[in-house]
Structure 1
Amino acid sequence: MMVMMKKKLTLLIFDAAGTPVKQTTIPRVLFPMTAMIVIVAAIVLYLGISDYLRLKNEVKDIHSLRTALRTQEELAVQHQSQIVSFSNKINSLNTKLAELGNFEQKIRIIANLEPSNDGSSLFGVGGSDPEDLDPSTMMEQDYQELVRDMHVEINEIDQASHDQQNSFSSILNQLEGKRNLLAATPSIRPLKGWISSRFGYRESPFTGRREFHRGLDIATFEGSPIITPADGIVTYAGNKGLMGNMVTIEHGFGMVTRYGHTQKILKKKGDRVKRGEVIALVGNTGRSTGPHLHYEVRLNGVAVNPMNYFLN
């Protein structure tokens, strides 16, 4: 029970039976101050609780941010690893294309082919390879700039691969042409024997006069096999007057060979023959002084020296 006096505030404290057991007197001037203290304490408590709740939420947000940041860092590491791996693959492709370019030039030199002069090749002999992407400094670049650089590099590699493919196709065509030319060149002797009369001017064994002999006379045993010195097609097989039984083979590229005075012709007109294939037997037909083969090589219709083509 409180009893208010003019200058003091008296507090009476009773026991359970209602009997006063203690009396306390508080100066009246302290009452507003006490009330102020209580109010301030309540405000401080409210602010403390608010700050605690706010800090608790902030800690929760920081934890979420840390989790998100950790996830982003892991993704960044994965992206960096992928970019580095991709750049290494690009550099590897650059190296392989450069090696292919050098290999192409070696093929052209060895096969005596025309050099590539289209000017479109990314890798030139004696030049440097395209600048490699440096994985150690890549992540310092702006991401968009890095992506642009890699796209440019990929486009250059794609263009270089197409140019290299075209170049190898050109090599293949040239080699095919050379192979066909070599196959059509009468480069081996049509038979073994003794050369009784060479290409060029000679004294005719029949008239004694000086005449131009357009082939080689190769003397050997009658019935010896005559082989074709190059691939071709039989364009004539039959009797040819003074040449006796004669075979003519067209080899392509303007090359033609003729075989005269044969005993027996084993091929007919239109037959395809391969180098080394037997086409006739040595004879003594037509105007001849003994068993031998009259062998001619003609280039674009002009008789040339067969000796210039023998490789054996």
Structure 2
Amino acid sequence: MKNRIKIWFHSGNDTDIREISLRKSLLLFSTLFFIACAGAVSYFGHDYYVLKRTDLDNTTLHETIASQKTELEDQRRQIQVFAGEIQDLKEKITKLGQLENQVRLIADIDKSGQSSGLLGIGGVPETDLGQDLPLDTRHNALIREMHHQVNQIRSVADEEKLDFNELIAKLEKKKNLLGSTPSIKPVSGIITSPFGYRKSPFTGKRSFHSGLDISNRMGTKIVSTANGKVIFTGRKSSYGNVVIIDHGYGKATKYAHLRDILVHKGQQIKRGDAIATLGNSGRSTGPHLHYEVLVNGAPVNPSKYILN
């Protein structure tokens, strides 16, 4: 009996007493088995908890990475749009600079100081903006480059503003000169032969062309390109019917191959006044206007004196 343990169960009734007798070895085994099971459950339960927590953390991490990737893609697209806008700004500033130079040439106004321009401002290579590039490739460098270019453009724009303010002030003092300086296209149409050396349509040899040839239909209205005084109307050998206007300040314009002449010698003319109609008189291959700009008697490129 020493190897057994008795356990009594009492239900509260004196006559209802139950007795269980267990071997000590069985009870010890059962206790150890219970402890082992509890330990195993605790161990695997903890592993399961760690696994679930890790899985949850990984899910959160993947969501964060996906969100950051989306954000990078959006930023890359914004950078592409931004790069296009920067390029547009540079082109507009360049055109403004060209217009300023053209106005200065026409008005005979020198530019004080060094030209501002867009020297030193490069574009962002399209290869650095490709959608196929890894999102982190030059990303931060591109953003810095954008800000750098914007700052440069702002600086150039400020300089151009000062240049234009200076130009406007000088233009105010040169209204008479401007009014007397050729600055518009004398007739609508297509420029068929520019100023400079060309192959002669008559001899086939290289010869100098002293004006612009502008083609259009017979009878198209021709206007004076500046204020001035008509100093010649009539026929000039191979030029056919011709009108020459003296604009003062050493500048004059010639209009040749005309059909009808609408002005007379000595007449005062305003810019835009009709002076003749387009024709085919003289030595000509077809209806067109031969237009010249002369400075101190020498022909210069008329294209530089056309703003419209």
Q: TM-score interval w.r.t. the shorter chain?
A: 0.3 to 0.5
The one of the two structures with greater contact order (alpha-carbon pairs below 8 A, sep at least 6) is: 2
- TM-score under structure 1 normalisation? 0.45
- TM-score under structure 2 normalisation? 0.46
Q: Which has the larger radius of gyration?
A: 1
